[in-house]
Amino acid sequence: MRLPTDRGGTSMNTRFVVVTTRRDHAVERACRIADHLKSHGLQEVRRSSRQIFLASPGASFEAFGPAITIFGTLYGRCTPPQGGPAHANGGTTERLARRLTNSSWGRYVAFFETDDDLGVMADPSGSGIGYEVADEEVSLLCDRVDPSLLRAAGLTGRVELNALHGCLIDPTTAIQAKFLRGVERLAPGRLHSLLGRHAPIAIWSPATVAERRDDPEDRLRASLDQTLSGPGCIRPLVQLSSGLDSSIIVSSLAAIAPMTRAMTATSAAGDVEETPHARSAAAHAGVPLIEKRSDALPDYRSFFDAPQIAHPYLHGLDDLFANSVEDAGSDMGADAVVTGQGGDALFFNSPSPLVAVDRRRALGSWVARRSLVDDARRSGSTIWHHLIPAELDRFRQTQIPSHTMVPPASGSLNRGLARRAFASRIPVDVARRGSKGEATVLYGRAAVANLQFLRETLLGGVLASCGIVDEQRLEHLLTPDHLFYSLHNHSLILLASCEAWLRAWR
């Protein structure tokens, strides 16, 4: 069920908090913490002898008897579960968790209670987010961690400056790195004992369910078609970026739902010009294309107003076009908005060395070495997307078992398997395309628009005071002349985001 929405809202940046008493003498403290959280707008939805469950207005909550409590959404599988449940002792938290994963997909964090243990598990896909912060007496489980929540519980999370430094070097580490000491993120599909009765147990893992087949291309096409057919969309709108993934989606969905429409959003100044490829993909799929242009630029001040979480946000360009997508969907009466996003999550960490080997053989050692920077820039080897949870996780969850059984050799060379499997569904120019649009000019204009704020914020800021960035170098970087020539202005949006995050947590 979904809790009623309170117009007054809540000052807490979280959908749910579960307070667990780990020691008998700490019951009173747990109650005080819960009372404090309720005074900030959270509602108590359930209570047991050791746990108090609280949720924000509008949160999805479900109780299945006294043993299982779910925050999030469950839905049935599109296909029967692959692989039977492992043997478990009756009445254990492990048995309860296995029953849940063998009956449903979902986006959730589940709590299990038996006579001798308390367990918690984030859903196997990783869509449900859960963090644990604990001391010897109590623990807090929540979907988002912010400084005010920890202060209310008398708990602490210490900033890991090395992790923040690593994020500035490679932003993709924000996905998995640990930025706060004492704050633990739940591993998807693993059962954790809140009372320390056992080490985490792998309830669901790809190795236990993935099939090995000799026809991965057929399997990939069939699983995608089944996934897109499942929700029964009649008038879907596809957000067409003109990349490989969204081009595959628009042609596949058009064959299932004839009333499919597509839209592409670009900068009004033409900084990220993807329209020719988008037109080609839409024409190949036989669907109308809506072209939306926007002259908006990111406002770096907004990063400091937003509530912070357990890691820095990766702000990018997606937010700028979100309103255009929403407007287009509303105008056409779309019943779903579908994107190709998620391909990077499956393929990003599986690069092939064959491209580098071929380049080395063709050009020789020194020439190949000098070309690496240019290759990385052309291939768009860094992601800058602000990660947000998908509303329809059923689209991707049924894909995961299929992708985990694909032989790695079939999927090398930048989605080589997908290019072959869907060759008939995408136009030649998209199939042969090796990179995404270049946004250097747009990031440069954004940096100039935010230059005064960046100087006021970063010079003398906490990143500089901690020694993470060189203030003298920043002084040189944050000038109109340097921004005009620089190819690295996209790094400034990350600096602003990390500065906002560190200020909130120190």
Q: For residue 99, give both structure tokens.
A: 């029953």
pLDDT at residue 54, as a whole number:
96
What is the distance, to the nearest Å, from the Cα of residue 245 to the centroid of all Cα atoms in its chain?
17
Q: For residue 470, give both structure tokens.
A: 């060189």
pLDDT at residue 331, as a whole number:
85
pLDDT exceeds cutoff 80 at 10: no
Average pLDDT over residues 236-242: 86
What letter represents residue 401's amino acid? P
CATH topology of domain 16-208: Glutamine Phosphoribosylpyrophosphate, subunit 1, domain 1 (3.60.20)
pLDDT exceeds cutoff 80 at 272: no
Q: Is the whole model's pTM more than 0.75, yes or no?
A: no
Assign 138 to helix, strand or coil.
strand
For 214-228, give one letter per residue: b (16+ CB within 10 A) or e.
Answer: eebbebbbebbeebb
Secondary structure percentages of the chain, helix, strand, coil, to 5: 45, 20, 40
In angstroms, the Cα distances linking 88 to 95, 208, 485 are: 5, 16, 63
Q: For residue 31, give both structure tokens.
A: 């109650």
Q: How far apart are CA 175 and CA 167, in angstroms?
A: 9
Count CA atoms closer than 13 A to 139's CA, side-chain side. 24
Q: How far apart are CA 128 and CA 57, in angstroms?
A: 18
Distance between first and last Cα of the chain: 37
Domain 216-348+383-431 CATH (choose: 3.40.50.620, 3.40.228.10, 3.20.20.100, 3.10.105.10) = 3.40.50.620
Q: How far apart are CA 347 and CA 396, in angstroms?
A: 13
Whether the Cβ atoms of residue 115 and residue 105 lie closer than 8 Å to each other: no
More confident residue, 393 or 272: 272
Q: Which of 31-35, 320-324, 358-362, 499-503 has the lowest mean pLDDT?
A: 358-362
pLDDT at residue 262, as a whole number:
92
Q: Which of 32-41, 150-159, 198-207, 313-322 has the lowest mean pLDDT?
A: 313-322
In angstroms, the Cα distances linking 432 to 111, 221, 244 are: 47, 19, 9
CA angle 399, 401, 403 (to 5 degrees): 65
Average pLDDT over residues 443-471: 91
CA angle 105, 393, 70 (to 5 degrees): 50
CA angle 130, 397, 336 (to 5 degrees): 100
Confidence label for 329 from pLDDT (cuts 50, 70 and 90): confident
Q: Quote the radius of gyration of the chain (alpha carbons, Å).
A: 24
Average pLDDT over residues 186-197: 92
The DSSP letter of residue 2 is B
Q: Which sequence spans correspond to the domains of the chain?
A: 16-208, 216-348+383-431, 440-505
Query: Residue with structure tokens 């009445």?
Result: 91
Q: What are phi and psi of 97, to 5 degrees?
A: -65, -40
For the chain, how long is the longest CA-to-CA vector?
A: 71
Confidence label for 316 from pLDDT (cuts 50, 70 and 90): low
Q: How far apart are CA 261 and CA 253, in angstroms?
A: 10
